Copies of this chain bind each other. A is one copy, B any other.
Amino acid sequence: MLEHLKEEVFQANLDLPKHGLVKYTWGNASGIDRERGLFVIKPSGVDYDKLKPNDMVVVDLDGNVVEGELNPSSDTKTHAVLYKHYQEIGGIVHTHSTWATIWAQAGLDVPAMGTTHADTFYGAVPCARFLTQEEIDRGYEAETGYVIIETFKERDLNILEVPGVLLQGHAPFTWGKDAKSAVMNSVVLDEVAKMNLFARELNHFAPELPQPILDKHYLRKHGKDAYYGQ
């Protein structure tokens, strides 16, 4: 079932090491079929060079396996919570990519300091708080999803305008209209995390991008008047 989606999600997973975002098996990409309410995700801990499209696991929105002989990613419940809460999301990616993870460990939002950021994220990428002992005991992976939802709600952020988050002490999650665009958003997030770190090191007073330029770059690529691409 969902052969086409499995192929898409398989390719998105292969793109993670190709873009230098993951070492070994430290990442996962998923994609959803909204009509059926099922999503497809990488199996847990399987080497990328042994992975096949048919190893992808089909899961429902409560995180139960519907089809597949392998265990799904240990982060499956985080994906499930996000898909269930945000109807707009078509694909999700989790990695421990170096530079985004550095910001997560620093516990800081990634500010919008350049147009590379503005082309993809309409404002700062937030850093969600540490999970508490109680949340961990209740169910670490699902609660990770709830903390993301809490963060976007508290800050009144649009999930598609800011398609990524850092979890303090952990690493980033990104999403998009499908698995492929979620991967691209992970690439962008890691790159701007690197750029911003060194820009502030070079000039501690390096400013955030002025609002008019942020608007211009985001809106020439996104929204009804976008004119980037074909």
Q: How does the 8 Å CB contact mask read for A95-134 relative to B, with 1 for contact and 0 for none?
A: 0101101111111100001111001000000000011110
The answer to whether B44 and A228 have CB atoms under 8 Å apart is yes
The answer to whether B210 and A169 have CB atoms under 8 Å apart is yes
Query: Which of A78-86, A156-164, A198-206 interfaces with chain B?
Result: A198-206
Smallest CB–CB gap between A69 and chain B, Å?
Answer: 9
Q: How does the 8 Å CB contact mask read for A4-45 relative to B, with 1 for contact and 0 for none?
A: 000000000000000100011010000000000000000111
A223 close to chain B: CB less than 8 A: no
A194 close to chain B: CB less than 8 A: yes
Smallest CB–CB gap between A2 and chain B, Å?
Answer: 21
Give Cα A166–Cα B97 distance, bound, in whole angstroms.
24
Give Cα A200–Cα B107 distance, bound, in whole angstroms.
10
A70 close to chain B: CB less than 8 A: yes
- Pick the most buried of A99, A102, A220: most chain B CB atoms within 10 A of its CB: A102
Q: How does the 8 Å CB contact mask read for A157-196 relative to B, with 1 for contact and 0 for none?
A: 0000000000001110000000000001001000100111
Closest to A96 in B: B116
Smallest CB–CB gap between A160 and chain B, Å?
Answer: 19
The answer to whether A116 and B230 have CB atoms under 8 Å apart is no
Could you say which of B98, B106, B119, B228 contacts A206, with CB atoms under 8 Å apart? B106
A66 close to chain B: CB less than 8 A: no
The answer to whether A116 and B26 have CB atoms under 8 Å apart is yes
The answer to whether A171 and B116 have CB atoms under 8 Å apart is yes
The answer to whether A187 and B23 have CB atoms under 8 Å apart is yes
Give Cα A210–Cα B169 distance, bound, in whole angstroms.
8
Could you say which of B44, B115, B216, B229 contacts A229, with CB atoms under 8 Å apart? B44
Could you say which of B44, B116, B169, B202 contacts A209, with CB atoms under 8 Å apart? B169
B-binding residues in A (CB < 8 A): 19, 23-24, 26, 43-46, 70-71, 74, 96, 98-99, 101-108, 113-116, 119, 130-133, 136, 140, 169-171, 184, 187, 191, 194-203, 206-207, 209-210, 212-213, 216, 220, 227-230
